[in-house]
A and B are shown apart, each in its own frame.
Chain A
Amino acid sequence: MSEKPLEVREVSNQELQITLVSRNELIRELRQKVKFFAKQQGFDDEEVFDVQLALNEALANVIEHAYQGDQNGRIDIKFHTDQNGDLVIVIKDYGQKADPECLKSRSLDEFREGGLGLYLMEKLMDVVQFDFSQEDGTVLTLIKRKHCHK
Chain B
Amino acid sequence: MDGFEVQRKISNDVVILNLKGYLDAHTAPQLEKALQTCIDQKEYKIIINFENLSYISSAGLGVFMGFIEEIRQHGGDLKFSNMNPKIFRVFDLLGFPNLFEIFDDERDALNKFNSK
Contacts and interface: CB of A to CB of B under 8 A. Distances in A.
Interface of A: 24-25, 27-28, 31, 49, 53, 56-57, 60, 63-64, 108, 111-114, 116-117, 119-120, 123-124
Nearest to A109: B95
B59 A60 contact: yes
Contacts of A63: 25
Given A28-B3, A28-B26, A63-B25, A53 B59 contact: no
Contact of B93 (A56, A64, A123): A123
B75 interface: no
B32 to A, nearest CB: 10
Given A56-B24, A113-B63, 8 more contacts: A27-B26, A28-B26, A31-B55, A53-B90, A60-B59, A111-B65, A112-B66, A120-B58
B50 interface: no
Nearest to B89: A49
Given A25-B26, A27-B24, A49-B86, A57 B62 contact: no
Contact of B57 (A25, A56, A119): A56
Interface in B72-107: 86, 89-90, 93-95
A114 B25 CA distance: 11
B57 A57 contact: yes
B58 A57 contact: yes
A116 B24 contact: no
Contact of B25 (A27, A49, A123): A27
Interface residues of B, number: 21
B22 A28 contact: yes
B61 interface: yes
Nearest to B92: A123
26 contacts: A24-B25, A25-B2, A25-B26, A27-B25, A27-B26, A28-B3, A28-B22, A49-B86, A49-B89, A56-B24, A56-B57, A60-B58, A63-B25, A64-B25, A108-B94, A108-B95, A111-B65, A112-B65, A112-B66, A113-B65, A114-B62, A116-B94, A117-B58, A119-B94, A120-B58, A124-B93
B24 A113 contact: no
Contacts of B93: 120, 123-124
Contact of A60 (B22, B55, B57, B66): B57
B108 to A, nearest CB: 26
Contacts of B95: 108
B57 A113 contact: no
A124 to B, nearest CB: 7
